[in-house]
Structure 1
């Protein structure tokens, strides 16, 4: 999927991400821009999780939403 499509889909899915990770700020969600690595980093930062754990959560979330 090209980056424009990912960003467009991300705009639709930001609310779903906010439901699952309520500590993510609107600013965090804007900065993520549909980028998996930024998403993982934001979860690590907000929740103090190890990278592997944050990656697992993001991948499980993505299995349901098919962003990447």
Structure 2
């Protein structure tokens, strides 16, 4: 999915992301702005996950939401 499309759908997915990872703040979402690697880092930071755990959860979320960065 190209960067323009991600930005266009970001508002929709932001709500779904916050449903899954409620500890992420609005400021976190502003920093992420549709960038997968940024989201991965914020999940690690807020939940104390290692990269592998955060990647696993994010991949599962992407698969269940039919959303690929």
TM-score in same-fold range (> 0.5)? yes
How many residues are aligned here?
Answer: 68
Structure 2: runs of 5 or more not aligned:
none
For the 8 Å contact 1:6–1:67, the answer to whether it is kept is no
What residue is the counterpart of 2:63 in the other structure? Answer: 63
Where in structure 2 are the equivalents of 1:18-29 lying within 5 Å? 18-29=18-29
- Following TM superposition, the consecutive aligned residue runs of length 4 or more in structure 1 with deviations greater than 2 angstroms are none
Compare 36-45 and 1-10 and name the one that shifted more: 1-10
What residue is the counterpart of 1:31 in the other structure? Answer: 31
TM-score by length of 1: 0.91
What residue is the counterpart of 1:12 in the other structure? Answer: 12
TM-score by length of 2: 0.90
Distance 2:9 2:56 in 1: 20
